[in-house]
Amino acid sequence: MTDVKRETAESAGFDLFGVLARFAPLIFLIALMIIFAVLEPRFMSSINLFNVMRQVSITGLLAIGMTFVILTAGIDLSIGSLLAFAGLVAAAVAKGGMQDRFTVGEGVVGWGWELAALAAIAVGVCGGLLQGLAITRLKVPPFVVTLGGMSVFRGAALLFAAGGPISGFQPDFTWWGQGKIGPVPVPVIIFLVAALLAHIALRYMRYGRQVYAVGGNPEAARLSGLNVNWVICSVYVIMGFFAGLGAFVLSARLNSAEAVAGTGYELTVIASVVIGGTSLFGGVGTIFGTVIGSILIGVLLNGLVLMNVSSYIQQIIIGVIIVLAVAFDTFAKSRRRKA
């Protein structure tokens, strides 16, 4: 029967494009590292590489959350603002409350890093939950909701900070951003552990299956008995969690929190996820890809800095890369359709 013939032909055909598309980010990363290593010897020093990883870990944490969101064909533009707001709240808690938040110097004990971390995460989760509810209950597209959120949380951050940064924390707080375990910076460990957990959730848990299903075909997911609204709402909560965690780590690393923190992060983070092979159309992508994508962006920016390329040009490059990555994704999608 023709049916049988067609099937075997498909399975026998080695899908070179598929393999290339899957490993493209990794190949691109290695190529980029070789280029930088040749052009700029300082790039390959272990100090620089750990430095790159330390920088990557903040946007990387956000990119992990963003992967969940984009897998459902959503988007979150509010993360930079939410991160700033959560960071300020955490900083104020670390300082011991609203009255004492601007007190700098010795003798300020505050409420401890544990409460600070919890506060940052709580702010992130609540922010994500609000946006998830607006998307699923009010039926407003994610782009619009989170564009609004971007403005709301930035405004809240500016209001909360009342003009100045909050800085000077206890060493046990700043350890989470500046410390090391052996030679490895703590933020890098947090990033990698979070990536591992997210990978397990998406790859091995029922929840992950639901995320892929809702992103792949929401109508089919609904008709398969999934609670589509619940799943969509949940990914924004997860995004919020990672925005809060990122805020805590960033404040610890900088020993300071300010209202303009995280400006423009949304673009870097979305670029990381998309370059890592997650489709903006939903239903396709991996955490592994996102980790590679985040490192790729980090290496690129670091290399450009080492080569004294102006930060304005870096912005241009990021913008171009995100468009090219999406163009590639569209092309890959049309190939999947044809298959």
Q: Is 1 in the site for other proteins (CB under 8 A)?
A: yes
Q: Is 2 in the site for other proteins (CB under 8 A)?
A: yes
Q: Is 181 in the site for other proteins (CB under 8 A)?
A: no
Rounded to whole angstroms, how far apart are CA atoms 60 and 39? Answer: 26
Among 115, 133, 209, 267, binds other proteins (CB under 8 A): 209
Total residues contacting other proteins by CB under 8 A comes to: 34
| Smallest gap from residue 23 Cβ to other proteins (A) | 17
Q: Which helix (H) or strand (E) holds 36?
A: helix 16-39
* C-beta of residue 123 within 8 angstroms of C-beta of residue 244: yes
What string marks each residue from 260 to 289 as x (binds other proteins by CB under 8 A) or -? -----------------------xx-----
| Smallest gap from residue 296 Cβ to other proteins (A) | 23
- The token duo for 225 is 């008995």
Q: Is 339 in the site for other proteins (CB under 8 A)?
A: yes
Q: Is 226 in the site for other proteins (CB under 8 A)?
A: yes
* C-beta of residue 214 within 8 angstroms of C-beta of residue 221: yes
Residues facing residue 256 across a β-bridge: 167
Q: Is 176 in the site for other proteins (CB under 8 A)?
A: no
Q: Which residues contact 95 (CB under 8 A, 6 or more apart)?
A: 101, 102, 103, 108, 110, 166, 169
Nearer Cβ to other proteins (228/250)? 228
* C-beta of residue 68 within 8 angstroms of C-beta of residue 205: no
Q: Is 207 in the site for other proteins (CB under 8 A)?
A: yes
Among 37, 193, 223, 316, binds other proteins (CB under 8 A): 223
| Stretch in the footprint of other proteins (CB under 8 A) among 2-10, 50-58, 106-114, 263-271 | 2-10
* C-beta of residue 325 within 8 angstroms of C-beta of residue 275: yes
| Smallest gap from residue 200 Cβ to other proteins (A) | 9
Largest CA distance in the chain: 83
Q: Is 106 in the site for other proteins (CB under 8 A)?
A: no
Rounded to whole angstroms, how far apart are CA atoms 126 and 120? Answer: 10
| Total residue count of the chain as it appears in this document | 339
| Stretch in the footprint of other proteins (CB under 8 A) among 54-62, 132-140, 215-223, 308-316 | 215-223
Going by the DSSP 8-state scheme, the letter that residue 97 receives in this structure is: S
| Stretch in the footprint of other proteins (CB under 8 A) among 4-12, 118-126, 186-194, 240-248 | 4-12
Q: Is 227 in the site for other proteins (CB under 8 A)?
A: yes
Q: Is 202 in the site for other proteins (CB under 8 A)?
A: no
Rounded to whole angstroms, how far apart are CA atoms 149 and 305? Answer: 31
Among 22, 189, 306, 336, binds other proteins (CB under 8 A): 336
Q: Which residues contact 298 (CB under 8 A, 6 or more apart)?
A: 52, 53, 55, 56, 59, 60
Q: Is 224 in the site for other proteins (CB under 8 A)?
A: yes
| Smallest gap from residue 283 Cβ to other proteins (A) | 6
Going by the DSSP 8-state scheme, the letter that residue 42 receives in this structure is: G
Helical segments of 75-185, H only: 79-95, 112-137, 142-161, 171-178
Q: Is 225 in the site for other proteins (CB under 8 A)?
A: yes
The residues of the shown chain that bind other proteins, judged by CB under 8 A, are 1-4, 6-8, 10-11, 204-209, 212-213, 216-217, 219-227, 283-284, 333, 336-337, 339
